């Protein structure tokens, strides 16, 4: 089982996603565990303020150091650099636009961890001293970006990471064959009934090879029609 800890100021966003469909069933089957932590719970003031204006000027707000460090400390992670045998493998992920772009290879690597702590930044980002403090205390950190674009927060990337990593856990999808990126490759055109669709006086047919039952020919067709990918099955 892999455990996901998500630190966010919008817990409802994460809850709505992980409590549906495959991730919900994975939790019920105890294949994954998701714990969502509201960053505002680790503030002192009555307004539960987690951000402040950036030093040096400029627009926007920056997530403060103190609540994030308290949130991570409250998890009581065992992350000493020389961990005793049998101790869980823990990695902290910080989502920010300048991080390493998340891809399938990274998802496979993260699926080998026992626990992933995900910090969802917001606004102009988080105070850079958060990373300095975590590294100084032997935490393993991964700085990740969802892609070559900027989002308003880390919640969407966190959900993407949980989804991509969870489906690598045996049993989450029911069968290993359900991993279409291994079974078919990426971007293979898929069809289902009816075999012929009529819409606005035009006919749209399923390719004949998929209807013939010749699995060898179907495999060749799918291989020739999948999108190029560095992690697609090359068999």
Mean pLDDT lowest among 107-116, 166-175, 181-190 = 181-190
* pLDDT exceeds cutoff 80 at 87: no
Rounded to an integer, the average pLDDT of 172-198 is 76
HSE of 73, CA atoms in CB hemisphere, 13 A:
10
* pLDDT exceeds cutoff 80 at 90: yes
pLDDT given for residue 172 in this prediction: 95
* pLDDT exceeds cutoff 70 at 5: yes
* pLDDT exceeds cutoff 80 at 99: yes
Q: Which CATH class is domain 2-176?
A: alpha beta
pTM attached to this predicted model: 0.85
Domain ranges for the chain: 2-176, 181-225
How many angstroms separate the CA atoms of 13 and 42, rounded? 19
pLDDT given for residue 84 in this prediction: 47
Rounded to an integer, the average pLDDT of 105-124 is 94
188, 219 Cβ separation under 8 angstroms? no
Taking all residues of the chain, what is their mean pLDDT, rounded to a whole number?
89
Pick the residue with more confidence: 232 or 78? 78
């Amino acid at each position: 089982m892999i455990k996901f800890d998500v630190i966010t100021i919008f817990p409802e966003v994460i809850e709505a996603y992980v409590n549906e469909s495959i991730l919900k069933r994975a939790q019920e089957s105890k294949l994954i565990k998701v714990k969502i932590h509201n960053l505002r719970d680790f503030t002192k003031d009555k307004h539960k303020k987690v951000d402040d204006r950036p030093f040096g000027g400029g627009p926007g707000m920056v997530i403060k150091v103190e609540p994030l460090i308290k949130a991570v400390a409250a998890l009581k992670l065992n992350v000493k650099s020389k961990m005793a045998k049998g101790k869980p493998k823990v990695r902290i992920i910080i989502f920010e636009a300048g991080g390493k772009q998340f891809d399938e290879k990274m998802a496979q690597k993260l699926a080998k961890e026992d626990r992933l702590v995900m910090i969802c930044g917001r606004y102009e980002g988080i105070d850079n001293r958060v990373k300095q403090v975590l590294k100084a205390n032997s935490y393993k950190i991964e700085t990740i970006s969802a892609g070559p674009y900027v989002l308003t927060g880390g919640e969407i990337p966190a959900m993407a990471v949980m989804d991509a990593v969870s489906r690598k856990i045996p049993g989450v999808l029911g069968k290993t064959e359900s991993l279409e990126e291994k079974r078919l490759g990426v971007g293979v055109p898929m069809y289902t009934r009816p075999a012929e669709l009529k819409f606005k006086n035009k006919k749209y047919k399923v390719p004949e090879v998929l209807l013939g039952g010749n699995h060898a020919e179907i495999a060749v067709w799918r291989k020739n029609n999948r999108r190029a990918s560095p992690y697609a099955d090359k068999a």
